[in-house]
Structure 1
């Protein structure tokens, strides 16, 4: 398959998986605390990834471990906790929308820190996408005045971390297999995650006879297997086959899926938000259109 077509297929699959992850986080929080959710997501995801890819650890060089550790912290560890806390106050669809700031941060950080060039068309596309995102945020705040938008800052902080992580993978881990990157990431963060989980006295609260707890555990397993483990490998591969900006543009299309789930779950959506979504799609097109 032509590389140009293949990267769009990866983008579509990631959009579906990650777009659905926000509603899964929301549902998991019914029976789990944010710390428990974040820690379990890392631990369960690590188990899946280690089963299928631990053998690739031998391919990782000593020099690459530093960047794998940083990538693991910025691309997975801190964001899973930040998103869990954010969704205790804001809708799942709003969290997804705010996450669309990632491509903007990817370009700015790539240019300022990693010296990765971006074209004027890419910058224009990201700006248009950002405008669409801003409209979605403003309308969301209007429709949900009871929500504490200070927690939205946690999602913005995550988007900055994602932007740094994408550039690290592109600049320092380009020659590492996608599965090896994922394995290396989780090797470095699974112990801290276990410590966080034990600090919440989770083992004393395990009760599968409790419906909320049992359903939350089901949601977190689905979220970990697909939204973290599988998606992590696919995303690492996408970064390597395309540009950092193209890979991070998955956060533009994710809100479409997240909004659909949000509407089905009773979250508000307006015509203006639909128009803003069109702007976001236009931004994706311009950011990735060939000269």
Structure 2
């Protein structure tokens, strides 16, 4: 299979299909809203319940598809030969980031979490260079430095707009590192599989893990509480729409364009997250806008090269 760098060199000479751009904007709208949905889910559920719950509901969504696909001999053989990549994509792309974002969401403004998520393309490139043979160009090097500088502003300024170490922001950065690993795994090992197949089997590996985690909490008893109805609705939306349907769309964008182009959804997500934050009464300080702007400039340079 060609390396990611070879694939992207070929794709860079082609016009990206209109469908890829349309799907990218839909993805940005939904995923940019996920941070406010996490915030609403945390009203009634604990952080580990929100994290595992969204993965479990996504798994339930894909269960009927898994039942049909499991009867297909070609799909079974493909899954058997790629099981490690599917498990890795599930862990780094969904399960681990879900816990990191849930914990961060309990302590950070949703708008700040959305802004930090813009680092995903930076880590996509770095992981590609270190482990997948991508070639790093000079403009991309400058973009990395700018992205890191912008993230420093976002990480070291607290919700009050004063300079301080914001440890919970580092959890979001770690989640974007996981996303970078996941995108490269999909681009290198899973891009040959239909998006619905690869995504469904990714959740087939991590969904049962999430269920076991939920069993050891009071999650299922909370489902019956009237006070948890709104949080349950937002959690189901996070799982089915955010982690389920949008994951299929994301994997399809990787196939239509490239892993780095798909990661560029984070160009648009911070704007959606910031808008939700403002509507929710969150205060956003000029230094945070500055940090986001520097990050986006760096990511633009990374994609431009």
TM-score, structure 2 normalization: 0.84
Asked if the contact 1:143/1:268 (under 8 Å) is kept, the reply is no
Pair 1:224-2:271 in alignment? no
Matches of 1:85 and 1:148, distance apart in 2: 17
| Aligned positions, number | 286
Aligned Cα RMSD in Å?
2.4
Q: Provide the residue aligned with 2:303 in structure 1.
A: 288
Q: Provide the residue aligned with 1:73 in structure 2.
A: 91
Asked if the contact 2:35/2:111 (under 8 Å) is kept, the reply is yes
Pair 1:249-2:264 in alignment? yes
Q: Provide the residue aligned with 1:102 in structure 2.
A: 120
Q: Provide the residue aligned with 1:186 in structure 2.
A: 203
Asked if the contact 2:144/2:302 (under 8 Å) is kept, the reply is yes
Matches of 2:201 and 2:36, distance apart in 1: 28
What displacement does 1:15 show?
Answer: 1.0
Asked if the contact 1:253/1:281 (under 8 Å) is kept, the reply is no
Structure 2 CA distance for partners of 1:49 and 1:123, relative to 1, 3 Å? farther
Q: Provide the residue aligned with 2:49 in structure 1.
A: 36
Stretches of structure 2 lacking an aligned partner (at least 5 in a row): 1-14
Matches of 1:200 and 1:96, distance apart in 2: 28
Structure 2 CA distance for partners of 1:286 and 1:3, relative to 1, 3 Å? same
Asked if the contact 1:256/1:277 (under 8 Å) is kept, the reply is no
Structure 2 counterpart SS, 1:30: coil
Pair 1:168-2:185 in alignment? yes
Q: Provide the residue aligned with 1:83 in structure 2.
A: 101
Structure 2 CA distance for partners of 1:172 and 1:23, relative to 1, 3 Å? same
Pair 1:124-2:142 in alignment? yes
Matches of 2:303 and 2:119, distance apart in 1: 16
Tell which deviates more after alignment, 196-205 or 77-86.
196-205
Matches of 2:292 and 2:170, distance apart in 1: 21
What displacement does 1:188 show?
Answer: 0.5
Matches of 2:54 and 2:43, distance apart in 1: 15
TM-score, structure 1 normalization: 0.88
Matches of 1:288 and 1:206, distance apart in 2: 44
Matches of 1:23 and 1:32, distance apart in 2: 14
What displacement does 1:239 show?
Answer: 1.8
